[in-house]
A and B are shown apart, each in its own frame.
Chain A
Amino acid sequence: MTVRRVMGIETEYGITRADDPAADPIHLSGLVVRAYAASAGPTRALPTGAGWDYADETPLRDARGYEMARALADLSQLTDEDDPAVANSVLSNGARLYVDHAHPEYSSPEVTSPRAAVLWDRAGEEVMVSAARALQGQEVPVRLYKNNVDGKGASYGTHDNYLVPRSVPFADLVRGLLPFLVARQVICGAGRVGVGPASQLPGYQIGARADYMETEVGLETTLKRPLVNTRDEPHASAAVHRRLHLIGGDATSADVGGLLKVGTTSLVLRLVETGRAPELALQDPVGALRVISRDTTLRTTVPLEGGGSMSGLDILEAYLQACRDALAEEVPGWTADPDTAEVLERWGGLLDTMREDPMRACGQVDWVAKLALLRGYRDRDGLAWDDPRLRLVDIQYSDVDPTRGLAARMRAAGRIESLVSTDEVHHAVASPPEDTRAWFRGECVRRYAAHVRAASWDSVVFAESGRGLRRVALPEPEQGTRAQVGDLLDRHSDAASLLGELASTGA
């Protein structure tokens, strides 16, 4: 089960109101969440009056072993203070849909494979499409973008999360991951028109977030953004698990890029966990991130500690080879299960293709697909890199609307390869993954909506008439699966009887 682990993707969507670009984005984001919850109905989405259970959230705890004093925190770091003006819902697929800062955010349910991560991430796009349709019906023409930048200095995140054993020293994770995270954009970057945080220089680059990462390691997510985030908020048994929270990635529209983003990262984590990460260290990781991002030929190299230099492709090749070696040597923890084989085959194939000609990956990776479009426009119409039409293509590429969105259109036409079918995506909008606690969470929404008062990643809170609140804790992400609790839920058509059995068995 090499590549498999508990993982999930959080996406903050860009948002505008077509008839009023100056509309307050916080209010508009709240409308998106409320419109989805109202149109989907209570068995698909908890009413936004229901709460998020913040009991276990600790956004200021640092993996390096200390907690930031609350008074010192930037206000935007305080995500755990309940604000009734901000909408929140928990969906029957186990996801959370809410307003984060000034963006609607879809946080996917916990999944255990890269393919499932892609599927429930695509379900999030569909949730946004549905919300926009519901608002269009109320004459609120909202546009939602699965991107990370406005090109004027603002950036908002797509975070990928991985469950890692607490026993792995954090310093090992940082050392093993940094060179990989610098190079990862080559196989999964979203691409961006403009260079510099506010697009001060004309041009194109591979990583949409590359100009917004400022340090190697740190706690913050909205300023001084780090390549490896130290937020120690496992949403699970803290003695056993760590949730690695990576904030530097791009939102992907191309499935293969999305699969490789989480698939290769999970494999690299396995390398670190089994002491097999390549002995690589970059002289200046943050600088290298930008250098690699700005060279679409993929030939530029970045200097290593102790001499020598490597290109982004070279770095990725070194990690890939370490994975192949671990498999060939049958290192404990390494088996060529189908999910692992798929990621390794795609990874190797893509590196080979990109070494020949990066543009041949235009059906697999967003930055290449987008660059092909932009080059087409530049050639056909003689446009300079700072021409507004190119910046429009960049933004509209990620519009989630299936008619307007360029990536969505290219996917529908088969120009961008799909790994999941439309039917699978629709199923994943309504249904949770079966092999994590997301199954219990999502099924509680679907079956017992009227009595679910709040939920969180590791709890579901029920309201029993006359008996107050009852919190069911889910500290183990791989418990609460369909195999484990399917019969239990099937035995109880109402929440009171379910809670009765849980109380009698001491759960």
Chain B
Amino acid sequence: MAGQEQQRKDHQRDDEQPEPGAAPAAGQAQDAQRDADLDALLDEIDGVLEPNAQEFVHTFVQKGGQ
């Protein structure tokens, strides 16, 4: 499973490469760092998300206010 997810992500990043061999700009380096940070963040959040998303979202019903 994890391998498949990794492949999908790698595939997507390939799509986003602008020019083969182009020198990465500082912004792109920052963005790469941001992607790595994001992966770590998602792993952390996985541990705190309400366990049953379907059920939670279904029952999250509010009354209208102002």
- A residues contacting B by CB (< 8 A) are 12, 14-16, 21-22, 25-26, 100-103, 149-157, 159, 221-222, 247, 356-357, 359-360, 362, 372-373, 376-377, 379-382, 387-389, 391-393, 395-396, 403-404, 406, 409-410, 415
Contact = CB atoms under 8 A, between A and B. Distances in A.
24 contacts: A12-B66, A21-B59, A101-B66, A152-B60, A152-B61, A154-B62, A154-B63, A154-B64, A221-B66, A222-B66, A247-B66, A356-B27, A359-B31, A360-B27, A373-B42, A376-B38, A377-B42, A380-B39, A389-B49, A396-B50, A404-B48, A409-B48, A410-B41, A415-B41
B42 A156 contact: no
B65 A100 contact: yes
B17 interface: no
A208 to B, nearest CB: 12
B65 to A, nearest CB: 3
A156 B45 CA distance: 27
B2 to A, nearest CB: 10
B62 A14 contact: yes
A406 B45 contact: yes
B42 A380 contact: yes
Contacts of B62: 14-15, 25, 102-103, 149-150, 154, 156
Contacts of B50: 392, 396, 404
B19 to A, nearest CB: 17
B25 to A, nearest CB: 11
A222 B65 contact: yes
A150 B58 CA distance: 10
A372 B65 contact: no
Given A26-B63, A103-B62, A406-B48, 4 more contacts: A21-B61, A101-B66, A154-B65, A156-B66
B57 A380 contact: no
B66 A157 contact: yes
Contacts of B57: 151, 388, 391-392, 395
Contacts of B14: none
Nearest to B48: A404
B53 interface: yes
Dominant SS among interface residues on chain B: helix
A391 B53 contact: yes
- Max count, chain A CB within 10 A of own CB: residue among B31, B37, B65: B65
Given A357-B27, A388-B54, A410-B41, A12 B48 contact: no
Nearest to A378: B12
A92 to B, nearest CB: 25
Contact of A379 (B8, B37, B44): B8
A380 B9 contact: yes
A156 B31 CA distance: 35
Given A16-B59, A373-B45, A392-B57, A379 B66 contact: no
A481 B22 CA distance: 61
A408 B30 CA distance: 24
A356 B30 CA distance: 13
B24 to A, nearest CB: 14
Contacts of B38: 372-373, 376
B64 A155 contact: yes
Contacts of B12: 379
A460 B38 CA distance: 50
A424 to B, nearest CB: 26
Contacts of A15: 62
A395 B42 contact: no
A25 B48 contact: no
B60 A16 contact: yes
B18 to A, nearest CB: 13
Given A392-B53, A409-B48, A101 B42 contact: no
A150 B61 contact: yes
A33 to B, nearest CB: 15
B48 to A, nearest CB: 6
A194 to B, nearest CB: 11
A157 B65 contact: yes
Contacts of A101: 63-66
